[in-house]
């Protein structure tokens, strides 16, 4: 097994986080940014989270192509268009005048509340109840899957600018989904035999030490009806040393082997956004070590304007991950939260990009599904645009649904070239609902 016979080499780089305190200095690398430009980007980073690390900055970003030509810069550094211009000016003025921290926090909070934090019922419809008590660190949207948010894993090695989980990272406790109550978590799972899979997510659970991660994983192995365990992570892209030279990299791989040896499917739900993230040799070595444990790497990410909104980028991403032994899984639509207005792509264009990329790859890479909206009723796939009964329509279906009876039943929405999310759509043919039990947004 990899962790026993292929020990991690010693002497790898140590993780170093870069935060808003470092932002102005980092931006000074870009000669085209004036002091006013840097102030505006600091203003955005006051409202929406910013965190990166030395690996991303030194190995993934081509600084000669910044600001407009490098996708990883746009992926990890704030952009002025992420907030309405009046909001950027308000925060920039407060920063420029050294306003009191309380005043700055109040203004940032008011802006955040206008950005639709935690959409699609995450703080109400998705939160389960056990013995009369709400469990705010779990989500149970689909019958067979429960999401677990470990309290110690609610940060990341670096934050994506488009992240729909941005409320987890802004320091407002009422917006955070998290639990460290492992006993109640396992009691809930034992009480629900319909649950066959657990997804440990965040944030990024792999910011935790293996010792802490084990506290959440080991009890799951004692629940007979759990057949799969997933770990959602961006670490392969943003800190691949987690699997190669980190102090407990071998321990992590042994934990993966333990899950596989229990007879369960272990899936590392790897978040890759652009093929540039796959080019360093250490990423390929990290993926090899993970696969050697018996875990399966499944790759997903959203389609976002200015970063990967081209068929070329997606075709290369899917083919390269397949070559590296991973499984292309989902291409998501940018969610209706945070800076969606800046990063969102109209559904018409999103499907065209997906179709064009899909047509270029081998059948092995066509395991990917998309473009998919993770909306209130479930995961809505945009299957195409067609003309039915003389009307131009979107053809859609639910890959996954709160109500399993709705899964895989095609339905139609009136064509709208400006629609970017499910709630923008209306049922075709003048109908009052898409399907019985599936209402319009």
pLDDT in tens, 187-201: 999 999 999 999 999
Confidence band for 428, pLDDT divided at 50, 70 and 90: very high
- Assigned domain for 91 exists: yes
Instruction: Identify the pLDDT of residue 252.
Output: 98
What is the average pLDDT across 90-115? 97
Residue 222 lies in a domain: no
- Per this entry, what is the length of the chain? 441
Print the domain residue range for 109. 10-113
Is residue 15 assigned to a domain?
Answer: yes
Q: Is residue 144 domain-resident?
A: no
Answer whether residue 72 is part of any domain: yes
Helices 20-27 and 35-47, interaxial angle, to 10°? Answer: 150
Answer yes or no: is pLDDT of 1 > 60.
Answer: no
Could you give the percent of the chain with pLDDT greater than 70? 97
- Report the alpha-carbon distance of residue 311 to residue 71 in Å, rounded: 15
36 domain-assigned: yes
Please report which confidence band the pLDDT of residue 437 belongs to, taking 50, 70 and 90 as the band edges.
confident
Question: What total number of domains does the chain contain?
Answer: 1
376 assigned to some structural domain: no
Q: At 134, is the pLDDT very low, low, confident or very high (cuts 50, 70, 90)?
A: very high
Q: What is the mean pLDDT of residues 126-143?
A: 95
Rounded average pLDDT over 333-361: 97
pLDDT at residue 3 in the model:
45
* In the predicted structure, residue 38 carries a pLDDT above the cut 70: yes
In a domain, 160, yes or no: no
Q: What is the mean pLDDT of the chain?
A: 95
Whether residue 203 is preceded by a cis peptide bond, meaning omega within 30 degrees of 0, is yes
pLDDT tens string 289-312: 999 999 999 999 999 999 999 999
Separation in Å, CA 195 to CA 134, 144, 216, 234:
18, 4, 17, 25
Kindly state the percentage of the chain with pLDDT values over 90.
92
């Amino acid at each position: 097994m990899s962790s026993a016979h292929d020990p991690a080499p010693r002497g790898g780089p140590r993780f170093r986080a870069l935060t808003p305190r470092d932002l102005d200095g980092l931006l000074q690398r870009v000669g085209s940014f004036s002091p006013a430009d840097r102030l505006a980007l600091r203003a955005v980073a006051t409202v929406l989270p910013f965190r990166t690390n030395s690996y991303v900055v030194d190995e993934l970003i081509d600084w000669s192509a910044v600001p407009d030509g490098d996708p990883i810069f746009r992926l990890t550094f704030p952009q002025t268009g992420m907030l309405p211009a009046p909001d950027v000016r308000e925060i920039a003025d407060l920063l420029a005048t050294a306003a009191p921290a309380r005043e700055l926090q109040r203004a940032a909070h008011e802006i955040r509340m206008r950005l639709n934090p935690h959409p699609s019922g995450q703080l109400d419809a998705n939160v389960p109840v056990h013995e009369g008590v709400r469990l705010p660190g779990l989500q149970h949207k689909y019958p067979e899957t429960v999401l677990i948010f470990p309290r110690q894993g609610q940060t990341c090695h670096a934050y994506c600018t488009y992240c729909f989980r941005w409320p987890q990272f802004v320091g407002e406790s009422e917006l955070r989904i998290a639990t460290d109550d492992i006993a109640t978590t396992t009691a809930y799972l034992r009480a629900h035999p319909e649950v066959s899979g657990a997804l440990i997510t965040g944030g990024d659970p792999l910011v935790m030490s293996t010792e802490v991660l084990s506290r959440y994983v080991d009890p799951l192995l004692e629940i007979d009806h759990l057949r799969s365990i997933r770990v959602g992570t961006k670490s392969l892209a943003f800190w691949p040393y987690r699997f190669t030279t980190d102090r407990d990299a071998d321990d992590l791989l042994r934990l993966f082997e333990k899950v596989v040896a229990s007879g369960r499917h272990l899936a590392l739900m790897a978040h890759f956004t652009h093929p540039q993230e796959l080019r360093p040799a250490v990423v390929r070595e990290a993926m090899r070590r993970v696969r050697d444990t018996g875990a399966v790497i499944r790759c997903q990410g959203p389609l976002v304007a200015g970063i990967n909104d081209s068929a070329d980028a997606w075709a290369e991403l899917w083919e390269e991950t397949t070559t590296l032994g991973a499984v292309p899984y989902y291409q998501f639509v940018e969610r209706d939260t945070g800076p969606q207005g800046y990063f969102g792509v109209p559904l018409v264009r999103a499907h065209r990009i997906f179709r064009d990329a899909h047509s270029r790859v081998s059948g092995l890479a066509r395991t990917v599904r998309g473009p998919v909206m993770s909306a209130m009723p479930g995961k809505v796939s945009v299957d195409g645009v067609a003309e039915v009964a003389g009307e131009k329509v979107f053809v859609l279906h639910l890959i996954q649904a709160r109500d399993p009876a709705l899964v895989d039943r095609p339905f139609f929405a009136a064509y709208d070239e400006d629609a970017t999310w499910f709630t923008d759509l209306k049922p075709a043919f003048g109908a009052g609902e898409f399907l019985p039990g599936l209402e319009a947004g």
